[in-house]
Amino acid sequence: MSDKKIIPAPLANEGLPPDERGLFCDAAPREYEPARGIMEDFANWARSESLWILGFGTGCGAIELRPLMTSRFDMYRYGIQPRPTPRQSSVFVIGGYASVKTLKRIVRSYEQMMGPKFVVALGSCTINGGMYWDSYNTIKRIDQYIPVDVYITGCMPRPEALLAGFQELKKIIRAGRAEGQNEYARNFEWFKANQKKVIKDWNMPDYNW
């Protein structure tokens, strides 16, 4: 991969106590240029056929992942499987509404994932707040905080809709349009400002890495 991009300035990590700042990484994310031509196509094919979902049930959407993982809908046959650690996962399924407390963990888990990483947003709540539009504790739009590749509307979306969503995600990946990681790096300051606006007790590094 080409590393021509300028490496951004180190982050301040003001949320951390001064004596802990040295313990954490202060590098900001940077963009990665995709490989060219057939190499990238091949890589994208592999990425699309091996989707590892982060096992993090952020909201009620997690309940429809169960049937999907098990024998009735069996997502393994589409190359999709759950993975317990963000380091090894490539897909983050946002299961509906995200409370502020969970959003903090979502951001953290998302940043810990290795790129290219993809986000599938389940349910109405991720699009425009859903039925918790007037709640003091849930965000309305997940795309304010992390980049999203595919939205699946529904409350709850049926497992079939989820499968269809994953197929759509595969198409997007193969077409090379799932560049959420770069988008996040490009608009890092904007995303971070949005995150910090709602996460009032920011006591983690600016970029969890």
Question: Using CB under 8 A, which residues numbered 170 to 189 contact other proteins?
Answer: 172, 177, 181
191 touches other proteins (CB under 8 A): no
- Angle at the Cα of 185 (from 20 to 84), degrees rounded to 5? 70
Phi, psi angle pair for 117, to nearest 5°: -125, 150
Binding-site member from 8, 26, 140, 186 for other proteins (CB under 8 A): 140
Give me the least distance between CB of 20 and other proteins, in Å please.
14
Question: Which of 153, 125, 120 has the alpha carbon at shortest distance from 52?
Answer: 120
Question: Which of 62, 53, 122 has the alpha carbon at shortest distance from 86?
Answer: 53
Binding-site member from 107, 151, 195, 206 for other proteins (CB under 8 A): 151
Residue 41 CA, distance from chain mean position: 22
Calculate the CA dihedral of residues 26, 199, 99, 64 and round it to 10 degrees: -10
Question: Which of 202, 4, 6, 40 has the alpha carbon at shortest distance from 108?
Answer: 202
195 touches other proteins (CB under 8 A): no
55 touches other proteins (CB under 8 A): yes
208 touches other proteins (CB under 8 A): no
Nearer to other proteins, 12 or 133 (CB): 133
Binding-site member from 24, 67, 174, 204 for other proteins (CB under 8 A): 67
Give me the least distance between CB of 200 and other proteins, in Å please.
3
190 touches other proteins (CB under 8 A): no
Binding-site member from 5, 10, 20, 114 for other proteins (CB under 8 A): 114
Cα separation, 28 vs 26, whole angstroms? 6
Give me the least distance between CB of 80 and other proteins, in Å please.
9
Question: Using CB under 8 A, which residues numbered 15 to 54 contact other proteins?
Answer: 32, 42-43, 46-47, 49-50, 52, 54
Tell me the torsion sign for CA atoms 128, 80, 111, 208.
positive
Give me the least distance between CB of 136 and other proteins, in Å please.
5
128 touches other proteins (CB under 8 A): yes
Burial 168-201 (b: 16+ CB within 10 A, else e): ebbebbeeeebbbbbbbbbebeebbebbeeebee
**186 near 87, Cβ under 8 Å?**
no
Give me the least distance between CB of 18 and other proteins, in Å please.
19
Binding-site member from 144, 174, 183, 186 for other proteins (CB under 8 A): 144
